[in-house]
């Protein structure tokens, strides 16, 4: 049974997310609200499984959700035989992704470890109600049953769901650095902070990318190996819990943007591998099937063509080099089909001899 959220609880949660000014006025940044949690419906195969982002603010949140979606889709890709199957599969994947993120936050809640999660559902009049599922499976079922409302209301109510599941007071404690509280969203640019991306991926609103806590109590890090990893061009700052996730899925951060990298290969997490196949999923442009390693006979390093491609290529290369071999090169950079883990062999851009 859904319960109506008290105005005071909404204000407190929005204060944690956006700061006091937004919480008091109730006017949410247009880059965040209403940004839907909806898939592209432009008829293009390349964007069929991509969450559509209109404005730049919540980029890190979208990338984290997209990584969980792709993980679910990859494990079920053989069941997507018809168009209706694919429609249903992407909805189920989104529900599974959101449920996984909520239950990660519950795990790191001081008061709610054994309790339900909070799931905010906006009604047709714009009021926020909430339900409290008691299992991850029930959470996914409730999301599927209320798919249109949750999808339309978008990323802000869902982030508030995470905040309430985790606990407002505990998140406030995690967001205090040098005795100063900073909200989850940058108050100047309205962009994601690293704290918010970490909250989505780890269940903790910590700013650090390193393993565990440093001797300096102000530097909060990642406490355990994660389901979804994180890589950036600042690779030296990232600990093994993010570099070596449980499954080969990573959120990439470069150029103030977040995308997803993943592999269908079982040995992709092997540090000793000199050659790896990946799929890069940016959400806003062509997906790329990447072969990364030392060029073999008849191969050479791929050279990007357009300025936009050069920027994407360099960002991905720097992130991947930070995790694997610093001297290695991208040999193949080609488009792949709509189902994650499959290439479209008809559209090739690689460094192989023709």
User: Tell me, what's the pLDDT at 41?
Assistant: 78
Let me know whether 26 and 148 are in one domain: yes
- Give the pLDDT score at 273: 60
Q: Does some domain include residue 161?
A: yes
Residue 120 sits in the same domain as residue 258 = no
Residue 80, pLDDT score: 58
- Tally of domains in the chain: 2
Residues 59 and 158 in one domain: yes
- Structure pTM? 0.91
pLDDT interval class at 236 (50, 70, 90):
confident
Name the helix (H) or strand (E) containing 279: strand 275-281
Q: Is residue 219 a part of any domain in this protein?
A: no
pLDDT for residue 212 = 87
Separation CA 251–CA 66 (nearest Å): 9
Looking at per-residue pLDDT, the higher value among 138 and 48 belongs to 138
Return the minimum-mean-pLDDT range out of 147-151, 175-179, 241-245, 259-263.
Answer: 175-179
pLDDT tier at 158, thresholds 50, 70, 90: very high
pLDDT of residue 350: 46
Look at residue 188 in the predicted model and tell me its pLDDT. Answer: 93
Higher pLDDT, 198 or 213: 198
Note whether 60 and 154 are same-domain residues. yes
pLDDT at 270: 78
Average pLDDT over the chain reads 87
Half-sphere exposure at residue 328, Cβ-oriented, CA atoms within 13 angstroms: 27
Q: How confident is the model at residue 353 (pLDDT cuts 50, 70, 90)?
A: very low
Dihedral of CA atoms 238, 243, 246, 249 in degrees, nearest 10, equals 110
Work out the pLDDT band at 274, boundaries 50, 70, 90: low
pLDDT at 349 over 50: no
When mean pLDDT is compared over 44-58, 122-136, 294-308, the highest value belongs to 122-136
Is residue 347 a part of any domain in this protein?
no
| 111 vs 334, more confident | 334
- pLDDT(285) > 70: no
SS3 content of the chain, % helix, strand, coil (to 5): 40, 15, 45
Same domain as 119, residue 24: yes
Whether residues 290 and 151 share a domain: the answer is no
Q: Is residue 29 part of a domain?
A: yes
Q: How much is the pLDDT for 352?
A: 42
Residues 29 and 108 in one domain: yes
Cβ–Cβ under 8 Å, residues 214 and 237:
no
Domain containing residue 281: 229-335
Q: What angle do CA 7, 52, 269 make, to 5 degrees?
A: 105
Q: Are residues 24 and 158 in the same domain?
A: yes
- Nearest alpha carbon to residue 185 among 146, 151, 153, 156: 156
Is a pLDDT exceeding 70 seen at residue 82? no
pLDDT in tens, 14-64: 999 999 999 999 999 999 998 999 998 765 666 788 899 888 899 999 999
pLDDT at 325: 79
CB atoms within 10 A of CB 77: 15
Q: Is the pLDDT of residue 83 over 60?
A: no
Amino acid 31: pLDDT: 93
Same domain (yes/no): 142, 239: no
pLDDT for res 226: 96
Q: d(Cα 284, Cα 55) in Å, to the nearest integer?
A: 11
């Amino acid at each position: 049974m859904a319960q109506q959220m008290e105005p005071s609880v909404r204000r407190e949660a929005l204060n944690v997310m956006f700061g006091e000014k937004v919480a008091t006025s109730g006017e949410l940044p247009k880059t965040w609200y209403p940004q839907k949690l909806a898939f592209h419906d432009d008829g293009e195969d390349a964007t069929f499984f991509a969450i559509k982002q209109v404005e730049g603010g919540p980029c890190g949140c979208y990338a984290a959700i997209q990584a969980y979606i792709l993980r679910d889709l990859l494990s079920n890709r053989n069941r997507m035989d018809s168009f209706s199957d694919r429609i249903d599969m992407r909805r189920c994947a989104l529900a599974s992704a959101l449920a996984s993120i909520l239950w990660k936050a519950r795990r790191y809640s001081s008061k709610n470890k054994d309790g339900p999660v909070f799931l905010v559902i906006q009604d047709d009049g714009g009021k926020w109600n909430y339900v409290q599922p008691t299992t991850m499976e029930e959470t996914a079922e409730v999301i599927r049953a209320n798919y249109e409302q949750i999808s339309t209301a978008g990323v802000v109510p869902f982030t508030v769901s995470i905040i309430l599941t985790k606990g407002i007071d505990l998140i406030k404690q995690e967001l205090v650095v040098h005795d100063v509280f900073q909200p989850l969203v940058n108050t100047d640019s309205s962009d994601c902070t690293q704290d918010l991306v970490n909250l989505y991926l780890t269940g903790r609103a910590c700013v650090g990318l390193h393993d565990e806590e440093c001797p300096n109590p102000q530097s909060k890090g990642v406490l355990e190996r994660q389901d979804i990893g994180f890589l950036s061009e600042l690779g030296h700052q990232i600990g093994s819990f993010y570099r070596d996730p449980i499954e080969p899925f990573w959120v990439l951060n470069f150029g103030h943007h977040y995308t997803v990298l993943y592999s269908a290969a079982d040995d992709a997490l092997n540090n000793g591998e000199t050659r790896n196949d990946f799929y890069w999923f940016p959400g806003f442009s062509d997906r790329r099937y990447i072969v990364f390693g030392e060029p073999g006979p008849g191969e050479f390093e791929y050279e990007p063509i357009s300025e936009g491609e050069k920027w994407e290529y360099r960002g991905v290369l720097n992130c991947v080099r930070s995790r694997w071999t610093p001297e290695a090169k991208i040999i193949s950079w080609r488009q792949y089909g709509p189902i994650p883990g499959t290439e479209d062999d008809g559209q090739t851009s690689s460094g192989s001899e023709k």
